[in-house]
Amino acid sequence: MQEPISTATEPPFWQSENGLLSRESVARILEAGLERGGDFADLYAEDTVVTALTRRDRKIRDIQYNVQRGVGIRVISGKVVGYAHTADVSQESLLEAARTAGRIAKGEVRSVTVELANAKLHALSPVAQYPDQAASSAKVDVLLRTDEAARAHHSSIKEVSVMYRDVVQRLLLATSDGKLAEDERVRTSLFCSAVAALGSDRQSGSGRIGGMKGFELFSEISPESVGERAAAQAVKMLTAGPAPSGQLPVILTNGWGAVLLHEAIGHGIEADFNRKGTSKFSEMLGKRVASDIVSIHDTAMIPNHWGSLNVDDECGETRETELVRNGVLTSYMYDRYNAGLMGKDGWGNSRRENYRCVPMPRMTNTIMRNGPHSFEDLVRTVKRGFYAADFTGGQVDITNGQFVFSVSEGYLVEDGKITAPVKGATLIGDGADVLGKITMVADDFELSFGGCGKNGQYVPVGLGQPHLLISSMTVGGTKG
């Protein structure tokens, strides 16, 4: 792996202010958190800079620059979690926050000693060009190129909106059992939406790219391709007829189609729901949850990918976790708190949106690897079905396993061929039932990325899969 060739412009606040969050002072803060008898304490310090530019109506409409600096301190006593956070990062204020979090333990004040050593940290995602060092004019140019490519694609394109966003996040994490880690997460992304109009009909399309990387993203994938993708989708949907309604065989696209894995099973096997016994997948370890050609992994280890992590948000070592092997559920995804209560000693899926948030078990990059078939093989077997080529997103009800995803680009499959485009529709199903109906897996694995919300916390996640054939699923169009 190559060494990063540049570093971010401004050091995080704990480096620029003398001794603040030094190893010793962090240890003192954790000790203050534990002085009333808590079992465990951790600290999460964050210095994040977000730069976002929006182009609409052929103009750079918005530039936003947000700085987020603060520290969250958690104390766990038995089953109870105390959490406090502050943006006032003086040592006194941090000690006070630690004591506030520690108040959940009711003991007499005692003296504890915390000693810290560096935690294991991967170096998965080197950054070639830090986005905070790219000139604003270069970002403006990316927006312009995307916009113009979308408009040039077809005369029916009437409106184009483009959003550029980069996030440079520096973290300092420490746990009272002696781990300390400093990490950096740099994410750069571009999103385009285009509206095509024909008579009174309007359709929209979208395209996006992103990675755990810097401004080099745009030398790897051109901004033009993002604009063209958005425009092409909008134009295709202009001629789309109504989507079918009812039970049909469904082919899910590669890449972003893995929203299926994320919703149909991913959330349901996050440890918190299973500790509480509220998931449809509770008590299902070792049991069949999918057809025997289905294997699913969650991996934080894909270099430069959106959901990859060098270390999790509780200093846990990140890794690849096998979740489903040949249709059998082999593991849940753990954070430290739930692993502790469930008698597990490994985790690596602990994440939080920012320093204001208590960590939870979350997915990183959830993937299904290649099968033996070509995409054409899948299509050939379908007499009458639905091809879901793009989605806007999904949602799941953990308790009964019911999930949906919203298709933004769909096609009919007739007599072994992909034929007419049809308008978006929602697909709905039951997790284990639908995974059990995966009958063919193609050999064209692709990665994709998105954002995931849970209990009000939003984190970046990766996804990936080849094309899949589901023998039957409910398609929610309007045409019987």
Partner 1 sequence: MDYTEIAHLAVKAAMDAGADEAEAYLTVEDYLSLTARMKEIEKVERAGVTGLGLKVFKDRRKAYVTGTGLTARDLKVMARRALDYAAETCEEESNRLCEEAVGTSELTVFDTDLARQDLQTKIDLLLRLEGAAYDRDPRVKNTEEADYWDGTFEKIHVNSRGLVSREKKTHCGLSLSVLAMDGDERQVGAQYQAVRYFSKISPEEVGEEAARHALRKLGARPVKSQKAPVVFDNRIGLRFLGYLIAAVNGERVALNETFLAGKVGESIAPAHVSIVDECDREGGYANSIVDGEGIRTENKNIVSDGVLTTYLHNLHSALKLGALPTGNVQRGSYEREGALGAHNLYLAPGKSSREEILGSVKSGLLVTNLMGMGLNIASGHYSIGASGLWIENGQITHPVERVTIASTVQAMLMGIEEVADDLRFWAGSGSPTFKISEMTISGE
Q: In the range 211-270, which residues lie near partner 1 by CB under 8 A?
A: 243, 245-247
Reported in sequence order, the residue ranges of 87-125 that DSSP labels E, i.e. its strands, are 117-118
- Asked if 439 is part of the footprint of partner 1 (rule: CB under 8 A), the reply reads no
With binding defined as CB under 8 A, does residue 457 bind partner 1?
no
Q: Which of 98, 80, 81, 7 is nearest to 44 (CA)?
A: 98
Write the single-letter amino acid at 368: M
Q: Residue 450: which of 404, 390, 397, 402 has the closest Cα?
A: 390
From 36-44, 52-60, 314-322, 343-351, span contacting partner 1 (CB under 8 A): 52-60
Interface characters, 314-353, with partner 1 (x: CB under 8 A): ----------------------------------------
By CB under 8 A, is residue 66 in contact with partner 1?
A: yes
Backbone angles phi, psi at 263, to 5 degrees: -90, -45
Residues in 31-50 that interact with partner 1 by CB under 8 A: none
Q: Which 355-374 positions form the footprint of partner 1 (CB under 8 A)?
A: 356, 358
Applying CB under 8 A, the span of 19-27, 67-75, 169-177, 287-295 interacting with partner 1 comes to 67-75
Contact assessment for residue 147 and residue 25, using Cβ atoms and an 8 Å cutoff:
no
Stretch that binds partner 1, among 171-179, 200-208, 307-315, 324-332 (CB under 8 A): 200-208
Q: Applying CB under 8 A, which of residues 121, 162, 167, 425 lies at the interface with partner 1?
A: 425
Cα-flanking dihedrals φ and ψ of residue 82, to 5°?
Answer: -110, 140
Size of the site for partner 1 (CB under 8 A): 79
Using CB under 8 A, which of 12, 33, 38, 82 touches partner 1?
Answer: 82
C-alpha to C-alpha distance for 209 and 222, rounded to whole angstroms: 9
Judged by CB under 8 A, which of 276, 369, 380, 384 binds partner 1? 276
Locate 198 and state its tokens: 């024909």
Task: Scan residues 402-421 and list those touching partner 1 (CB under 8 A).
Answer: 402-406, 408
Q: Which of 8, 41, 100, 213 binds partner 1 (CB under 8 A)?
A: 100
**Single-letter residue type at 329:** L
**Long-range Cβ pairs for the range 271-274 (8 Å, 24+):** 271/332, 271/333, 271/334, 271/335, 271/338, 271/339, 271/342, 271/344, 271/347, 271/349, 271/361, 272/335, 272/338, 272/360, 272/361, 273/398, 274/332, 274/338, 274/342
- Residues with Cβ within 8 Å of residue 16, at least 6 apart in sequence: 10
Q: How far is the CB of 447 from partner 1 (least distance, A)?
A: 23
Find where tokens 């849940």 sit: 332
**Residues numbered 146-165 forming contacts with partner 1, rule: CB under 8 A:** 158-159, 161
Q: Is 195 in the site for partner 1 (CB under 8 A)?
A: yes
CB-count burial class (<10 Å; 0-12, 13-18, 19+) for 220 = exposed
Between 113 and 455, whose beta carbon lies closer to partner 1? 455
Per CB under 8 A, 10 contacts partner 1 = no
Binding of residue 423 to partner 1 (CB under 8 A) = yes
Residue 85 is a binding residue for partner 1 (CB under 8 A):
yes
Q: Is 61 in the site for partner 1 (CB under 8 A)?
A: yes
92 binds partner 1 (CB under 8 A): no
* CA 273 – CA 454 distance, rounded (Å): 12
What's the closest the beta carbon of residue 418 comes to partner 1, in angstroms? 20
Task: Report the nearest approach of partner 1 to the CB of residue 409 (Å).
Answer: 11
Residue 282, amino acid: S
